[in-house]
A and B are shown apart, each in its own frame.
Chain A
Amino acid sequence: MEKEKHHIVPYKVYFYILIALITLTFMSIGITKINLGGYSVLGALVFSTIKSVLVLTWFMHLKFDQPFLRFMVGFVALLFFAIIFITFLDYYYR
């Protein structure tokens, strides 16, 4: 356990992740250029969510950390979505 606990991520993995992130950025700009009405913000947010998962998993090392950290991050994300969802239920049905 002492020796195995630190995984060294190769430089090229980080580079590939960067390329993916930049590509997704341009895709999110592209999707908002197309007129999709209310769905364009949704599209952009989907790309942002994919980007944030990449950052959390690779850049922030969650892939190599203990599972409880991933669980906690998931819990915080869920808490945030619950807050958004419940607040919108209130505003939408007023």
Chain B
Amino acid sequence: MENATQHSDPHYDQEASKLGMWLFIFTELLLFGGLFLVYSIYRFLNPEAFRLAGEELNLTIGAINTIILLVSSMTIAMSTSSLQKKNKGLTIFLLEVTIMLALIFLINKYFEWGVKFDHGIWPGSQHLINDMSKGEILFFGLYFVMTGLHALHIIVGMIIIIVALNKVQKGIVNENRPSLLENAGLYWHLVDLIWIFLFPLFYLIH
């Protein structure tokens, strides 16, 4: 009986888990930073080919996906507020909306890549190697690697949000122990942050 009333959490340090999450985010930023560096050098060396290849991308889908990610960033940020306000129902709803938006982003990406595949454009495709210049091959290589790695982060982010949602439902994550949800939010904003730079660099070349 005594055990049941005792506070048995071994150790909980909200600031430390936030700091740990930020350190991880720094490694992610520099991972993508390396790719952005490669991109900028190759674009500097092949400006005309990058412009030509960039016209192949669909600006409308890119812009829609940007707005979807921005909205999903807002909903997950709101969910941390609603958790602190002890509104569990709203927290769960906002997380569900975030997951749905992430899914819509991926579906758009699927169709976007699908159109490229239909045009015979994928890394190492015959069309790419035979008919395109070195700069265009580099552009599409970077496009697939960078948006692909970003999409992978979307998938991982969805899994983390689903775990957080589950724990909010069970009450393990609550207004006194919000770290998991807050860190899931930080990760999701990181995904958004990277897209903020991917979008103009790939879709807005003129």
Contacts and interface: CB of A to CB of B under 8 A. Distances in A.
Given A51-B196, A83-B37, A60 B189 contact: yes
Contacts of B95: none
Interface in A1-34: 5-6, 8-11, 14-15, 17-18, 21-22, 25, 28-29, 32-33
Interface in A55-83: 55-56, 58-61, 65-66, 69, 72-73, 76, 79-80, 83
B197 interface: yes
A76 to B, nearest CB: 5
Contacts of B40: 84, 88
A11 B78 contact: yes
B197 A48 contact: yes
A14 B37 contact: no
Contact of B81 (A14, A28, A47): A14
Interface residues of A, number: 45
Contacts of B45: 91
> Does more than half of chain B's interface fall in helix, strand or loop, or is it mixed?
helix
Interface in B32-55: 33, 36-37, 40-41, 44-45
Contacts of A14: 74, 77-78, 81
Contacts of A87: 37, 41
Given A25-B66, A84-B40, A9 B189 contact: no
Interface string B74-92: 1001100110110000000
A72 to B, nearest CB: 7
A47 B200 contact: yes
A78 to B, nearest CB: 12
15 contacts: A18-B71, A18-B73, A22-B67, A32-B204, A32-B205, A35-B206, A40-B204, A41-B200, A48-B199, A48-B200, A52-B196, A55-B189, A59-B74, A59-B185, A69-B22
